[in-house]
Structure 1
């Protein structure tokens, strides 16, 4: 089996030459495109999630030999969460080679965070099965790049920080209020307000409520000097 030109280009972007091209094809096949004779990437996603977890656990232990489990856990979560996987997928234009069914393609599947994150995990598994753990680790660390070094800032959850800021001043935990929702069902944009009981508030917009809440909390913290 040979790879098409676009898949060869994708292999170049992730820095791995597949001995078994079928693994890459499967990793990029969404369930909406799969069939009895064309397996999808769900099982590879399951495996890739675990490979990614081990790579990041090793990397974090090596990068900070004095960190406690309590310090490492939020850093780990920031590196392996679906949003981070999707960000990496966008950087290598994984969406451009993702194999989707017609309905999923028409609904904007190539841009969906969950689909991109899942496929990125499946690609990690494909490299692992094709060439072993060392090859998978090398690719992950190369694609994740400086995220491992700068994860401390990303791991500091803005909602948690805002709640701690409020509690330290005898205030109730902040409230998150959905102020609006725009766009089609397959690609909504949420406007969320983070509000403290002293009336201080900031809003933010994002493609998911979770991200919008975090952005609103960060905006409010920044303004308050927290």
Structure 2
């Protein structure tokens, strides 16, 4: 994308998000997928994986702080379930689609051709990277206001219904603690594909014994699928 067009796009996104960056390079980095950076190695372009790592922690803290204060009588287990519901990959991807974040991503040709702009794992990661960039640019309080503005409706719904998106890992952990007191472990058994398009194969082990397998474009996605398979084998209803 030409520089002038990219700058216009970044201005448009900032206006839509109602968040103006002091350092626009942070925003651009948050929206640069590793596949695009790999295709432009000579420019030493920075992609969004480090920002995603930071944003994941900032997001969890922002939501935790908010629900801790909003629901002072909820026990730890309820708070954990609410947080897990609104920060899971499916929920974040839906929010990213609502704000049309995919329209602003810089993707490599392979990801572009295979629908990466609408892929949940890429969108969720980009949203976390955006939150990380916002934190570096303006600090925690400003980014928390942004996060809650995006997620407040989902948080309230989750507090009423318990789950908007099924977090199979949390559900499995609760089931094991309630019924078996067993330990659960997730183990990567295989990674395939280039760095910008990795696929993960995960084993779900209960007391070191294999109970389920999962496959996905992120470790989170693969672990969720492995946990779901275990729950199905245990006869736990998907509800």
Q: Could you tell me the TM-score, scaled by structure 2's length?
A: 0.65
- 1:158 shift after superposition: 8.9
1:168 alignment partner in structure 2? none
- 1:11 shift after superposition: 1.1
Q: CA RMSD in A?
A: 3.1
1:81 alignment partner in structure 2? 88
Bigger radius of gyration among the two: 1
Runs of 4+ displaced beyond 3 Å: 156-161
Instruction: Say which SS state the counterpart of residue 129 (structure 1) adopts.
Output: helix
| Long gaps (5+) in structure 2 | 176-196, 198-221
Q: Is the 8 A contact 2:86 2:155 kept in 1?
A: yes
Cα deviation per residue 1:93-143 (whole Å; 9 max; x = unaligned)? 000010000011000000000000000000001111111111110111111
2:10 alignment partner in structure 1? 7
C-alpha distance in 2 between matches for 1:137 and 1:15: 13
C-alpha distance in 2 between matches for 1:15 and 1:143: 11
- 1:49 shift after superposition: 0.2
Q: Whose helix proportion is higher, 1 or 2?
A: 2
Query: Relative to structure 1, is the Cα distance of residues 52 and 6 closer, same or farther in structure 2, using a 3 angstrom cutoff?
Result: same
Match of 2:141 among 111, 129, 134: 134
| Long gaps (5+) in structure 1 | 165-185, 187-207
C-alpha distance in 1 between matches for 2:129 and 2:167: 30
Count of matched residue pairs: 177
C-alpha distance in 2 between matches for 1:158 and 1:29: 28
- 1:154 shift after superposition: 4.8
Q: Is the 8 A contact 1:29 1:40 kept in 2?
A: yes
Q: Is the 8 A contact 2:30 2:126 kept in 1?
A: yes
2:74 alignment partner in structure 1? 67
1:110 alignment partner in structure 2? 117
- 1:27 shift after superposition: 0.1
C-alpha distance in 1 between matches for 2:66 and 2:26: 26
Q: Could you tell me the TM-score, scaled by structure 1's length?
A: 0.69
Q: Is the 8 A contact 1:78 1:84 kept in 2?
A: yes
Match of 1:18 among 18, 21, 26: 21
Q: Is the 8 A contact 2:85 2:167 kept in 1?
A: no
Q: Is the 8 A contact 1:44 1:123 kept in 2?
A: yes
Q: Is the 8 A contact 1:59 1:148 kept in 2?
A: no
- 1:155 shift after superposition: 2.4
1:41 alignment partner in structure 2? 48
Q: Is the 8 A contact 1:124 1:136 kept in 2?
A: yes
1:99 alignment partner in structure 2? 106
Q: Is the 8 A contact 1:82 1:113 kept in 2?
A: yes
Q: Does 1:55 align with 2:62?
A: yes
